[in-house]
Amino acid sequence: MKHTTGNFWGLVLSMALVVMLCSCKDSEKFQTITPDEAAEMMATESGYVIVDVRGKEEYDKGHIPGAINVPIDSLKQDIRNNEAIPELADKKKVYLIYCRSGRRSNEAAKLLSSFGYKHIYEFGGIIDWKGEIEAIKPAGE
C-alpha cells in the first residue's frame, strides 16, 4: 500500500508541474521574431507601433525610423503603477519591440504581455538591424 501512495503523490506532483509550466507559457503571449521578419512586417503591414525601449540618449544616437521611445525603466514603473502610457494605450494594437541587444526588449515584451497586450513581437536589438537608422541631432547643430 505504501508503494501505491508514493505513486499517487508522484502523479499529483507531476500534474502540478505540468499545470505550472503551461500557466507560465500562457502568461508569455508574445512572439520573438528576427530583425528581418520585423523589417518584412514593417514593409508589408500597417497599424503597428515600433517601440524602442532603450534610454533616451541611446535612442537619440540612432533608432529605427518611426520608432517611439519608451525606456524600459519608465515602462516598468508606469505599467506597474497602473499609469497610462499614451503611446501604448491600445492593448490590441501590434507592437514591434527592440532595444540594443535583446535583453530589455524581451523583458518589455514579457511585461506587456502579462498586462494583457495581445500582439507583441520582440525582435531583439538594433545591433542586428540591417535597415535604416536615424538619429536626433542635438539642438544647435
Question: Which residue numbers are catalytic?
Answer: 99
Instruction: Please give the DSSP secondary-structure letter assigned to residue 51.
Output: E
Give 3-state DSSP helix, strand, coil % of the chain, rounded to 5: 50, 20, 35
**How far, in Å, CA of 81 to CA of 86, rounded?**
14
CB 127 within 8 A of CB 105: no
30-32 vs 94-99, strand pairing mode: unpaired
CB 38 within 8 A of CB 84: no
| Residue 74: partners with Cβ closer than 8 Å, 6 or more residues away | none
